[in-house]
Protein backbone atom coordinates (compact mmCIF):
# COMPACT_ATOMS: atom_id res chain seq x y z
CA UNK A 1 0.00 0.00 0.00
CA UNK A 2 1.42 3.39 -1.01
CA UNK A 3 0.01 6.83 -0.21
CA UNK A 4 0.30 9.61 -2.83
CA UNK A 5 2.63 7.42 -4.90
CA UNK A 6 5.52 8.17 -2.54
CA UNK A 7 4.88 6.93 0.96
CA UNK A 8 4.76 3.17 1.63
CA UNK A 9 2.11 2.45 4.28
CA UNK A 10 2.80 -1.29 4.27
CA UNK A 11 5.22 -3.53 2.43
CA UNK A 12 4.48 -7.22 1.87
CA UNK A 13 6.46 -9.43 -0.51
CA UNK A 14 5.63 -13.13 -0.96
CA UNK A 15 8.98 -14.43 -2.18
CA UNK A 16 8.92 -17.52 -4.39
CA UNK A 17 12.70 -18.03 -4.19
CA UNK A 18 12.44 -21.22 -2.15
CA UNK A 19 9.84 -22.65 -4.50
CA UNK A 20 12.07 -22.24 -7.55
CA UNK A 21 15.44 -22.88 -5.85
CA UNK A 22 15.55 -26.63 -6.64
CA UNK A 23 15.29 -25.79 -10.36
CA UNK A 24 17.90 -23.01 -10.40
CA UNK A 25 15.44 -20.56 -11.99
CA UNK A 26 11.77 -19.58 -12.19
CA UNK A 27 9.43 -22.38 -13.33
CA UNK A 28 6.52 -20.53 -15.03
CA UNK A 29 3.75 -22.99 -14.13
CA UNK A 30 4.80 -23.11 -10.47
CA UNK A 31 5.02 -19.31 -10.33
CA UNK A 32 1.54 -19.01 -11.77
CA UNK A 33 -0.03 -21.49 -9.34
CA UNK A 34 1.64 -19.88 -6.33
CA UNK A 35 0.33 -16.46 -7.42
CA UNK A 36 -3.23 -17.84 -7.50
CA UNK A 37 -2.89 -19.29 -4.02
CA UNK A 38 -1.14 -16.40 -2.32
CA UNK A 39 -2.36 -13.18 -3.96
CA UNK A 40 -5.50 -12.49 -1.94
CA UNK A 41 -3.73 -13.21 1.36
CA UNK A 42 -0.92 -10.80 0.39
CA UNK A 43 -3.38 -8.01 -0.38
CA UNK A 44 -5.28 -8.63 2.88
CA UNK A 45 -2.00 -8.59 4.84
CA UNK A 46 -0.94 -5.33 3.19
CA UNK A 47 -4.31 -3.76 4.12
CA UNK A 48 -4.08 -4.95 7.73
CA UNK A 49 -0.52 -3.67 8.15
CA UNK A 50 -1.52 -0.29 6.68
CA UNK A 51 -4.58 -0.15 8.94
CA UNK A 52 -6.83 0.27 5.90
CA UNK A 53 -9.94 -1.38 4.51
CA UNK A 54 -10.81 -2.12 0.89
CA UNK A 55 -13.01 0.98 0.67
CA UNK A 56 -10.01 3.19 1.52
CA UNK A 57 -8.33 2.29 -1.79
CA UNK A 58 -8.35 5.11 -4.36
CA UNK A 59 -6.74 3.11 -7.18
CA UNK A 60 -5.38 -0.38 -7.91
CA UNK A 61 -2.10 -0.65 -9.82
CA UNK A 62 -1.07 -3.91 -11.46
CA UNK A 63 1.83 -5.11 -13.63
CA UNK A 64 0.53 -5.53 -17.19
CA UNK A 65 3.91 -6.68 -18.59
CA UNK A 66 6.57 -7.55 -19.54
CA UNK A 67 6.87 -10.90 -17.79
CA UNK A 68 5.51 -14.44 -17.69
CA UNK A 69 2.07 -14.42 -19.27
CA UNK A 70 0.46 -16.80 -16.76
CA UNK A 71 1.73 -14.92 -13.72
CA UNK A 72 0.73 -11.57 -15.26
CA UNK A 73 -2.76 -12.91 -16.01
CA UNK A 74 -3.30 -13.88 -12.37
CA UNK A 75 -2.40 -10.37 -11.19
CA UNK A 76 -4.35 -8.55 -13.90
CA UNK A 77 -7.49 -10.63 -13.33
CA UNK A 78 -7.33 -10.06 -9.59
CA UNK A 79 -6.70 -6.32 -9.96
CA UNK A 80 -9.61 -5.92 -12.38
CA UNK A 81 -11.99 -7.60 -9.95
CA UNK A 82 -10.65 -5.56 -7.04
CA UNK A 83 -10.90 -2.19 -8.79
CA UNK A 84 -14.37 -3.02 -10.11
CA UNK A 85 -15.55 -4.19 -6.70
CA UNK A 86 -14.15 -1.15 -4.90
CA UNK A 87 -15.18 1.21 -7.69
CA UNK A 88 -11.77 2.83 -8.18
CA UNK A 89 -9.49 3.21 -11.24
CA UNK A 90 -7.39 0.31 -12.52
CA UNK A 91 -3.81 1.30 -13.45
CA UNK A 92 -1.82 -0.87 -15.89
CA UNK A 93 1.87 -0.55 -15.06
CA UNK A 94 4.89 -1.54 -17.12
CA UNK A 95 7.14 -3.63 -14.86
CA UNK A 96 10.21 -1.68 -16.03
CA UNK A 97 8.58 1.66 -15.24
CA UNK A 98 7.91 0.17 -11.81
CA UNK A 99 11.64 -0.45 -11.30
CA UNK A 100 12.36 3.17 -12.29
CA UNK A 101 9.54 4.56 -10.11
CA UNK A 102 10.97 2.72 -7.07
CA UNK A 103 13.34 5.65 -6.62
CA UNK A 104 10.54 8.05 -5.61
CA UNK A 105 9.87 5.86 -2.57
CA UNK A 106 13.20 7.22 -1.29
CA UNK A 107 13.82 10.70 0.14
CA UNK A 108 16.80 11.11 -2.17
CA UNK A 109 15.78 11.04 -5.82
CA UNK A 110 16.60 12.90 -9.04
CA UNK A 111 15.37 16.42 -9.65
CA UNK A 112 16.01 16.60 -13.41
CA UNK A 113 16.40 14.26 -16.40
CA UNK A 114 18.42 11.15 -15.59
CA UNK A 115 19.96 7.96 -16.89
CA UNK A 116 18.29 4.83 -15.51
CA UNK A 117 20.00 1.45 -15.46
CA UNK A 118 17.56 -1.41 -14.89
CA UNK A 119 19.53 -4.57 -14.09
CA UNK A 120 17.35 -7.53 -13.19
CA UNK A 121 16.88 -11.22 -13.93
CA UNK A 122 15.15 -10.49 -17.24
CA UNK A 123 16.50 -7.07 -18.28
CA UNK A 124 19.63 -5.01 -18.53
CA UNK A 125 18.37 -1.75 -19.99
CA UNK A 126 19.74 1.79 -20.11
CA UNK A 127 17.14 4.54 -20.43
CA UNK A 128 17.32 8.30 -20.76
CA UNK A 129 14.43 9.56 -18.62
CA UNK A 130 13.28 13.10 -19.41
CA UNK A 131 10.46 12.90 -16.86
CA UNK A 132 8.04 10.20 -15.67
CA UNK A 133 6.42 8.74 -18.77
CA UNK A 134 9.12 9.90 -21.21
CA UNK A 135 11.66 7.11 -21.66
CA UNK A 136 14.18 6.68 -24.42
CA UNK A 137 15.85 3.27 -24.62
CA UNK A 138 19.61 3.78 -25.17
CA UNK A 139 20.76 0.18 -24.97
CA UNK A 140 19.91 -3.27 -23.67
CA UNK A 141 21.39 -6.70 -23.40
CA UNK A 142 21.75 -8.58 -26.67
CA UNK A 143 21.59 -11.95 -24.88
CA UNK A 144 21.54 -12.70 -21.14
CA UNK A 145 20.55 -10.14 -18.51
CA UNK A 146 23.02 -9.26 -15.73
CA UNK A 147 20.92 -11.08 -13.12
CA UNK A 148 20.58 -14.07 -15.43
CA UNK A 149 24.38 -14.15 -15.80
CA UNK A 150 24.70 -14.27 -12.01
CA UNK A 151 21.93 -16.89 -11.69
CA UNK A 152 23.52 -19.14 -14.34
CA UNK A 153 26.96 -18.77 -12.74
CA UNK A 154 25.57 -19.65 -9.31
CA UNK A 155 23.95 -22.74 -10.79
CA UNK A 156 27.24 -23.80 -12.43
CA UNK A 157 29.02 -23.23 -9.11
CA UNK A 158 26.41 -25.16 -7.12
CA UNK A 159 25.50 -22.06 -5.12
CA UNK A 160 21.71 -22.16 -5.44
CA UNK A 161 19.04 -19.68 -6.49
CA UNK A 162 18.72 -16.72 -6.69
CA UNK A 163 22.30 -16.47 -7.83
CA UNK A 164 23.00 -12.77 -7.21
CA UNK A 165 22.88 -12.89 -3.41
CA UNK A 166 24.64 -16.31 -3.35
CA UNK A 167 27.52 -15.01 -5.48
CA UNK A 168 27.70 -11.80 -3.45
CA UNK A 169 27.98 -13.88 -0.29
CA UNK A 170 30.82 -16.05 -1.64
CA UNK A 171 32.56 -13.03 -3.17
CA UNK A 172 33.02 -11.38 0.24
CA UNK A 173 35.86 -13.82 1.03
CA UNK A 174 37.34 -13.77 -2.49
CA UNK A 175 39.87 -11.80 -4.53
CA UNK A 176 38.08 -10.01 -7.41
CA UNK A 177 41.30 -10.05 -9.45
CA UNK A 178 41.84 -13.82 -9.08
CA UNK A 179 40.54 -14.64 -12.57
CA UNK A 180 40.47 -12.35 -15.60
CA UNK A 181 36.92 -12.86 -16.87
CA UNK A 182 35.98 -10.89 -20.01
CA UNK A 183 34.17 -7.51 -19.90
CA UNK A 184 31.97 -7.91 -23.01
CA UNK A 185 31.24 -4.73 -25.02
CA UNK A 186 32.66 -2.51 -22.28
CA UNK A 187 34.98 -0.67 -24.67
CA UNK A 188 32.45 -0.52 -27.50
CA UNK A 189 30.62 2.61 -28.67
CA UNK A 190 27.21 0.95 -28.31
CA UNK A 191 25.11 1.24 -25.14
CA UNK A 192 24.11 -2.42 -25.53
CA UNK A 193 25.28 -5.19 -23.22
CA UNK A 194 26.24 -8.84 -23.68
CA UNK A 195 26.70 -11.28 -20.81
CA UNK A 196 26.46 -14.73 -22.35
CA UNK A 197 30.21 -14.90 -23.12
CA UNK A 198 30.95 -14.35 -19.46
CA UNK A 199 29.02 -17.47 -18.49
CA UNK A 200 30.81 -19.44 -21.26
CA UNK A 201 34.18 -18.24 -19.93
CA UNK A 202 33.17 -19.49 -16.49
CA UNK A 203 32.12 -22.89 -17.82
CA UNK A 204 35.50 -23.28 -19.60
CA UNK A 205 37.30 -22.25 -16.44
CA UNK A 206 35.37 -24.75 -14.32
CA UNK A 207 36.08 -27.59 -16.74
CA UNK A 208 39.77 -27.32 -15.82
CA UNK A 209 39.16 -27.70 -12.07
CA UNK A 210 38.75 -30.80 -9.93
CA UNK A 211 35.99 -30.83 -7.31
CA UNK A 212 38.49 -30.06 -4.52
CA UNK A 213 40.18 -27.30 -6.50
CA UNK A 214 36.80 -25.70 -7.21
CA UNK A 215 35.91 -25.71 -3.54
CA UNK A 216 39.14 -23.91 -2.62
CA UNK A 217 38.87 -21.44 -5.50
CA UNK A 218 35.14 -20.70 -5.10
CA UNK A 219 35.36 -17.31 -3.33
CA UNK A 220 37.89 -16.02 -5.88
CA UNK A 221 35.81 -17.25 -8.81
CA UNK A 222 32.64 -15.68 -7.38
CA UNK A 223 34.40 -12.38 -6.62
CA UNK A 224 36.03 -12.23 -10.08
CA UNK A 225 32.80 -13.07 -11.87
CA UNK A 226 30.79 -10.54 -9.87
CA UNK A 227 33.50 -7.94 -10.54
CA UNK A 228 33.25 -8.53 -14.29
CA UNK A 229 29.47 -7.97 -14.20
CA UNK A 230 29.84 -4.89 -12.00
CA UNK A 231 32.61 -3.40 -14.16
CA UNK A 232 30.50 -3.69 -17.32
CA UNK A 233 27.44 -2.15 -15.65
CA UNK A 234 29.46 0.75 -14.19
CA UNK A 235 31.45 1.51 -17.36
CA UNK A 236 28.41 1.45 -19.62
CA UNK A 237 26.21 3.48 -17.28
CA UNK A 238 28.90 6.15 -16.93
CA UNK A 239 29.35 6.20 -20.72
CA UNK A 240 25.59 6.68 -21.19
CA UNK A 241 25.57 9.55 -18.69
CA UNK A 242 28.54 11.19 -20.43
CA UNK A 243 26.99 10.81 -23.89
CA UNK A 244 23.63 12.21 -22.78
CA UNK A 245 25.01 15.10 -20.74
CA UNK A 246 22.69 14.10 -17.90
CA UNK A 247 24.02 14.66 -14.39
CA UNK A 248 21.86 12.22 -12.48
CA UNK A 249 21.79 8.42 -12.55
CA UNK A 250 19.32 5.90 -11.10
CA UNK A 251 20.41 2.29 -10.68
CA UNK A 252 17.58 -0.15 -10.04
CA UNK A 253 16.31 -3.72 -10.55
CA UNK A 254 17.22 -6.80 -8.49
CA UNK A 255 20.95 -6.63 -9.31
CA UNK A 256 21.05 -3.08 -7.88
CA UNK A 257 20.66 -4.70 -4.45
CA UNK A 258 24.30 -5.77 -4.84
CA UNK A 259 26.60 -4.00 -2.38
CA UNK A 260 29.67 -4.06 -4.64
CA UNK A 261 27.71 -2.58 -7.55
CA UNK A 262 26.25 0.14 -5.32
CA UNK A 263 29.65 1.12 -3.89
CA UNK A 264 31.49 1.12 -7.22
CA UNK A 265 28.72 2.91 -9.15
CA UNK A 266 28.58 5.56 -6.42
CA UNK A 267 32.35 6.04 -6.55
CA UNK A 268 32.45 6.23 -10.34
CA UNK A 269 29.56 8.73 -10.38
CA UNK A 270 31.12 10.94 -7.71
CA UNK A 271 34.42 11.01 -9.60
CA UNK A 272 32.57 12.44 -12.62
CA UNK A 273 30.34 14.84 -10.69
CA UNK A 274 27.12 12.85 -11.13
CA UNK A 275 24.52 12.23 -8.47
CA UNK A 276 23.82 8.49 -8.26
CA UNK A 277 20.61 7.18 -6.66
CA UNK A 278 19.54 3.68 -5.68
CA UNK A 279 16.29 2.44 -4.21
CA UNK A 280 17.01 0.57 -0.96
CA UNK A 281 17.69 -3.13 -1.72
CA UNK A 282 14.14 -4.24 -0.80
CA UNK A 283 12.77 -1.78 -3.39
CA UNK A 284 15.30 -2.94 -6.03
CA UNK A 285 14.08 -6.53 -6.16
CA UNK A 286 10.51 -7.07 -7.42
CA UNK A 287 7.88 -5.61 -5.10
CA UNK A 288 4.41 -4.10 -5.11
CA UNK A 289 5.36 -0.67 -3.76
CA UNK A 290 7.26 0.20 -6.94
CA UNK A 291 4.22 -0.79 -9.02
CA UNK A 292 2.02 1.46 -6.88
CA UNK A 293 4.52 4.33 -7.33
CA UNK A 294 4.45 3.93 -11.11
CA UNK A 295 0.66 3.62 -10.93
CA UNK A 296 0.52 7.03 -9.25
CA UNK A 297 2.51 8.53 -12.14
CA UNK A 298 -0.03 7.02 -14.46
CA UNK A 299 -2.95 8.37 -12.46
CA UNK A 300 -1.40 11.86 -12.78
CA UNK A 301 -1.20 11.32 -16.53
CA UNK A 302 -4.90 10.42 -16.48
CA UNK A 303 -4.20 6.95 -17.83
CA UNK A 304 -6.66 4.60 -16.11
CA UNK A 305 -6.88 1.19 -17.83
CA UNK A 306 -10.10 -0.33 -19.21
CA UNK A 307 -11.61 -3.43 -17.59
CA UNK A 308 -10.86 -5.47 -20.71
CA UNK A 309 -7.12 -4.98 -20.05
CA UNK A 310 -5.06 -8.01 -21.06
CA UNK A 311 -1.42 -8.58 -20.08
CA UNK A 312 1.36 -8.26 -22.63
CA UNK A 313 4.34 -10.54 -21.92
CA UNK A 314 6.54 -8.38 -24.19
CA UNK A 315 5.22 -4.93 -23.27
CA UNK A 316 7.88 -2.42 -24.35
CA UNK A 317 8.79 0.74 -22.43
CA UNK A 318 9.47 4.02 -24.23
CA UNK A 319 10.88 4.59 -27.70
Of these partners, Zn ion, ligand KG4, none, which one is at the site of residue 5 (CB under 5 to 8 Å by kind)? none
Of these partners, Zn ion, ligand KG4, none, which one is at the site of residue 227 (CB under 5 to 8 Å by kind)? none
List the beta strands (DSSP E) in 12-133.
60-65, 90-94, 114-119, 124-131
Pairing of strands 248-252, 114-119: parallel
Residue 120 engages Zn ion in binding (rule: CB under 5 A): yes
- Least distance to ligand KG4 from the beta carbon of 258, Å? 3
- Least distance to ligand KG4 from the beta carbon of 187, Å? 24
Whichever of 148 and 248 has its CB closer to ligand KG4, that residue is: 148
- Residue of 281, 196, 264 whose CA lies nearest to 227: 264
Whichever of 26 and 276 has its CB closer to Zn ion, that residue is: 26
Whichever of 21 and 213 has its CB closer to Zn ion, that residue is: 21
Segment 272 to 291, residues that bind Zn ion, using CB under 5 A: 286
**Chain residues in the site for ligand KG4 (CB under 6 A):** 120-122, 147, 150-151, 162-165, 168, 253-255, 257-258, 285-286
Of these partners, Zn ion, ligand KG4, none, which one is at the site of residue 139 (CB under 5 to 8 Å by kind)? none
The rounded radius of gyration (Å) of the Cα atoms in the chain is 20
CB 125 within 8 A of CB 118: yes
Separation between Cα atoms, residue 71 and residue 24, nearest integer Å: 18
241 phi, psi to nearest 5 deg:
-65, -45
- Least distance to Zn ion from the beta carbon of 199, Å? 20
Q: How far is CA 176 from CA 13, 167, 220, 229, 267, in A?
A: 32, 12, 6, 11, 17
Segment 137 to 196, residues that bind Zn ion, using CB under 5 A: none
Whichever of 123 and 191 has its CB closer to ligand KG4, that residue is: 123
Q: What residues pair up with 251 in beta bridges, in sequence order? A: 117
Binding site for Zn ion (CB under 5 A): 120, 286
Amino acid sequence: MVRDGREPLSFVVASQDELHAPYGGVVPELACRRHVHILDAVVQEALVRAGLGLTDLTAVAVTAGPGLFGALTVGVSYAKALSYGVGCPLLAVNHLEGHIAAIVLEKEHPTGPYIALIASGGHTDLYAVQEPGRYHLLGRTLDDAAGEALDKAAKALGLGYPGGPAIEDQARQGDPTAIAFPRPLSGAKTHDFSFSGLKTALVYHLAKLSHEALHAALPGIAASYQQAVVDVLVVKTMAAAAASGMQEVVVTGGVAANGTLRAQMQRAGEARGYRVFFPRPAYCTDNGAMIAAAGAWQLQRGGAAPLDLTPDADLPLGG
